[in-house]
Amino acid sequence: MLEQGALTGLTVIDLSRLLPGPYASMILADHGARVIAIEDRRFMSDNFFVTTVNRNKEHMSLNLKTSRGRDIFEKLLDRADVVIEGFRPGVVQRLGIDYPSLSSRHPGIIYCSISGYGQTGPYRDRVGHDVNYLASAGVLDLIGPAGSQPSIPGIQIADIAGGGMNAVIGILLALIARSRTGKGQYIDISMTDGMLGFLSLPMWFREMTGMSPRRSDAVLSHRYACYNTYETADGRYLSIGAVENRFWKVLCEHFGVPQYTPLQYDDARREEIIGFMRERFRSKPIAEWEKELAPLEICYAKVNTLDEVLDHPMFRERHMVIDQSDATGKMIRQFGIAVKLGRTPGRLRTPPATFGQHTEAILTELGYSESEIASLVREGVV
The residues annotated as belonging to the active site are 129, 159
Using CA atoms, how far residue 362 sits from 67, 355, 365, in Å, is 18, 14, 5
* 227-231 vs 57-61, strand pairing mode: unpaired
State residue 353 phi and psi, 5-degree precision: -70, 150
Residues paired with 112 in a beta bridge: 84, 187
- Burial readout 316-325 (b: 16 or more C-beta within 10 A, e: otherwise): eeeebbeeee
CA–CA separation, 77 and 348 (whole Å): 25
**58, 362 contact by CB (below 8 A):** yes
Spatial neighbors of 111 by CB under 8 A, at least 6 apart, are 82, 83, 85, 99, 102, 103, 184, 185, 186, 187
CA–CA separation, 259 and 275 (whole Å): 15
3-class secondary-structure state, position 287? helix
Residues paired with 82 in a beta bridge: 12, 110
Residues paired with 115 in a beta bridge: 190
**351, 26 contact by CB (below 8 A):** no
CA–CA separation, 272 and 225 (whole Å): 9
CA–CA separation, 213 and 193 (whole Å): 19
Residues paired with 231 in a beta bridge: 237
